[in-house]
Structure 1
Amino acid sequence: MRAGEQASRTRSWRLPHGALGAPGSSFSRVHVAPNSSGSREGAEPRSVKGAALPAVVFLHGLLGSKTNFNSIAKALAQQTGRRVLTVDARNHGDSPHSPDMSYEAMSQDLQGLLPQLGLVPCVLIGHSMGGKTAMLLALQRPELVERLVAVDISPVETTSSSSFEAYMAAMKAIDIPDEVPRSRARKLADGQLSSVVQDMAVRQFLLTNLVEVGGRFMWRVNLDALTQHLDKIMAFPLQQESYPGPTLFLLGGNSKFVHPSHHPEIMRLFPRAQMQTVRNAGHWVHADRPQDFMAAIRGFLV
C-alpha cells in the first residue's frame, strides 16, 4: 500500500533490515489504523487538554502476526481517536528472520522502533509471547511505556508449551506439491495438520502463516529458530526492578496459562497490577471474545 491510499485502509510501510535497535532488529512493518476524526492515516490523534493521547501498540503471540489484531486495532482507533499500531515480531509475519529469539532481543527491537516512530510513551498490549516482550520492555525501560496490558500471560515460565511444540512439528511435516492453487494448498495443509491439531480455529490461525513464494508454499514463520528456542520463549528473564505504571492482566476464563501461583511474582514486578478475566475465552482472548476484549481495553484506557 502507498501512503496516498484512503483513510479507510490500514497503512503499512517497510523499514530496512537491521535499521532499528540492536543489530538484527526485525520490526519491518507497522500498521496505523485510521482514527475516528476521518483524517488521513498517520495523523495525530485527538488531544486531551492540549496533549496527544499515547498511541496503542499491539504485540502478537507465538506463531501469530500483526494481522491477528487488524480488526481490533481499527475499531480501537475509531473508538478512542488514538494512533494504533500492530507490529510483527522477529521471525514472524513480514519481519526478517534471526537466529536470536530471546526476549532481550525482542525488547531491544522495540527500544529502537518506538522512539524512531515518535511513539513514546505508549500503551503496550501484548498477547502471550508478545505480552512477555511487553512486560520485559516495561521493566527495562519504564519511561517508554505509559501503561501495560498483558493478555493471558504472566512473568514466569509458561508450562502450557507442549501444544506449541506439537503445532510446530506438524507444520514442519507439511508436504504441498509445487504450483497448486492457493485454495488447494490451504486445504491440503489443513488436512495434514488436522491429525495433530484437532481444533479448527487453531488450524486456521496456523494457516495464516502459509505463503506462496515463487510457486512454492512455505511457512513465513522461522520454524527452525522458534523450535530451537522454544524453552527460552516459554521462560521469562529474571528481573529485580518493578514497573511503576498501571498494568492490566487480561485473562481467558477457560485458559490455564496464568495460574494463581503466579500472582505473587506478578505483584512483585507490577505493584499496580489489576486482573480481569474474560468469561468463555481461551488463550486467544481477543479472537474468542473480541467485544469483551475491546471493552476491557477501553475501560483500562479511561
Structure 2
Amino acid sequence: MLRWAQAWRFPLGGRGPCYPSFSWVPVATCSSSGGKSRAKLRSLPLSYTLLDGKADLPALVFLHGLFGSKNNFNSIAKALAHQTGRKVLTVDARNHGDSPHDPAMSYEAMSQDLQDLLVQLGLVPCVLVGHSMGGKTAMLLALQRPDLVERLIAVDISPVETRSVSDFPSYMAAMRAVEIPEDMPRSHARRLADEQLRPVIQETAVRQFLLTNLVEVDKRFMWRINLDALSQNLQEIMNFPPQQDSYPGPTLFLLGGNSQFVLPSHHPEMKRLFPRAQLQTVPNAGHWVHADRPQDFMAAIRGFLT
C-alpha cells in the first residue's frame, strides 16, 4: 500500500424495504418532466440489502455508480461479510434500482438520503465504499459529516469534474429509443434490446450492464432507472460540489489501471480534501474495478481495513 507522497511518483442477511419505482420510464415512451426540480431538499427512503455481522466493527457500505444498483455488489458483499465478519450494506441510489424516483439528482440530495439511512440503521460510523457516482456521494458525505465515516474508499473517481470519458448522453438516447413489443418473453426482450443498443454502444460489457435495468412490469418492459432525472441532471452528476473543509479520516483512492477517469491533474484536489489519502491501482482493471478484478478489489479493501 503506497502512502500519498510515494504514490504520486508512479504511473499508473436481511433485505431492507423495496419501494416501488412508481415513475419507471416505459421503453420508447419517455416524456419530459420539465427541467430540474427547485423543491426543498428532501431525503428519500432508499432500498437496501443488509448482511449481518459483528456490531463492534464499523459496517461496510457500498454505493454503486451511474446506471448501477445495489445488486452490482451482491457477491462481493457476501464474500466480505464472511471474510471480515462485518455488517455489509448495499444501497440503491435515488432514481436507481428499487429506490424511489425524484426529479432532484444532486450529490447533496444523495448524501442526505444516505445520511438518514445510516442513522436509521444505526450503522455509524461506517466504512464508505463508493464507485464512480457513488464515490462522489461517499466523498461529499465524508466531507459534510466526518463523524459518520470511519474511513473512506473512492473507487476510480476523484472530487473534481469528470470529463467525457464515456458517452453517457448517447447511452441514454439509445436506451430511450429501444422498442419492445408487449408479452415478449424476457430472454427475447433482452436480446432485442441488445440488438437495438449495439449500433450506438459497441462494448458488449457496457450493453449488458445497462440491460440489468430492463424490467417487466404488467407485461410491459421498462427501464427502472429514471432516465428523465439522469439526463436533465447529467452535468451535475459529472461535477462535484465545491468544498472548503477536508476529511480527516483514512482515505483510499482505488483506481483501475486501464481507466482514464482519474488523471494526474486531479491529484492536488484529492490531496487537499483528503490529506490522509492513499492511492492504489488495480492492474488490468477498467472503470468497473469490482467487476473486472473482484478478488484484487476485495484484497485492497481488506488491506485498507487493517
TM over 0.5: yes
Does the 8 A contact of 1:55 with 1:84 survive in 2?
yes
Structure 2 distance, partners of 1:176, 1:274, is 47
Query: Which residue matches 1:209?
Result: 213
Query: Which residue matches 2:108?
Result: 104
Structure 2 distance, partners of 1:60, 1:258, is 17
Query: Which residue matches 2:47?
Result: 29
Aligned match of 2:194 in 183, 190, 193? 190
Does the 8 A contact of 1:132 with 1:155 survive in 2?
yes
The verdict on how the C-alpha distance between 1:209 and 1:71 changes in structure 2, with shifts beyond 3 A counting, is same
Structure 1 distance, partners of 2:44, 2:255, is 28
- In structure 1, stretches of 5+ residues that fail to align are 1-9, 34-41
Give the aligned residue type for 1:186.
Answer: R
User: Secondary structure in 2 aligned to 1:166?
Assistant: helix
Give the aligned residue type for 2:141.
Answer: L
Structure 2 distance, partners of 1:218, 1:15, is 17
Give the aligned residue type for 1:25.
Answer: S
Does the 8 A contact of 2:46 with 2:117 survive in 1?
no
Does the 8 A contact of 1:54 with 1:82 survive in 2?
yes
Structure 2 distance, partners of 1:166, 1:95, is 24
User: Secondary structure in 2 aligned to 1:86?
Assistant: strand
Query: Which residue matches 1:280?
Result: 284
Give the aligned residue type for 1:13.
Answer: G
Query: Which residue matches 1:230?
Result: 234
Query: Which residue matches 1:12?
Result: 15
Structure 1 distance, partners of 2:164, 2:293, is 21
Paired residues for 1:85-234 under 5 Å:
85-160=89-164, 162-234=166-238
Equivalent pairs, count: 275
Does the 8 A contact of 1:25 with 1:90 survive in 2?
no
Query: Which residue matches 1:296?
Result: 300
Does the 8 A contact of 2:162 with 2:261 survive in 1?
yes
CA-to-aligned-CA distance 1:85-120 (integer Å, 9 cap, x gap): 100000000000000000000001111110110000
Moved over 6 A (4+): none
Once the two structures are TM-superposed, the CA of residue 56 in structure 1 deviates from its matched residue by: 0.4
Structure 2 distance, partners of 1:214, 1:248, is 44
Structure 2 distance, partners of 1:161, 1:221, is 21
Does the 8 A contact of 1:15 with 1:27 survive in 2?
no
Does the 8 A contact of 1:24 with 1:98 survive in 2?
no
Residue 73 of structure 1 pairs with residue 77 of structure 2:
yes
Query: Which residue matches 1:254?
Result: 258
Does the 8 A contact of 2:165 with 2:261 survive in 1?
no
State the percentage of identical aligned residues: 74
Does the 8 A contact of 1:153 with 1:257 survive in 2?
yes
Structure 1 distance, partners of 2:71, 2:220, is 22
Does the 8 A contact of 1:126 with 1:133 survive in 2?
yes
Does the 8 A contact of 1:242 with 1:271 survive in 2?
yes
The verdict on how the C-alpha distance between 1:176 and 1:16 changes in structure 2, with shifts beyond 3 A counting, is closer
Once the two structures are TM-superposed, the CA of residue 271 in structure 1 deviates from its matched residue by: 0.0
Does the 8 A contact of 2:178 with 2:197 survive in 1?
yes
Once the two structures are TM-superposed, the CA of residue 28 in structure 1 deviates from its matched residue by: 2.8
Structure 2 distance, partners of 1:205, 1:162, is 14
- In structure 2, stretches of 5+ residues that fail to align are 1-12, 21-39
User: Secondary structure in 2 aligned to 1:116?
Assistant: helix
User: Secondary structure in 2 aligned to 1:14?
Assistant: coil
- Bigger RCO of structures 1 and 2 (CA < 8 A, at least 6 apart): 2
Once the two structures are TM-superposed, the CA of residue 11 in structure 1 deviates from its matched residue by: 2.1
Once the two structures are TM-superposed, the CA of residue 166 in structure 1 deviates from its matched residue by: 1.3
Once the two structures are TM-superposed, the CA of residue 73 in structure 1 deviates from its matched residue by: 0.4
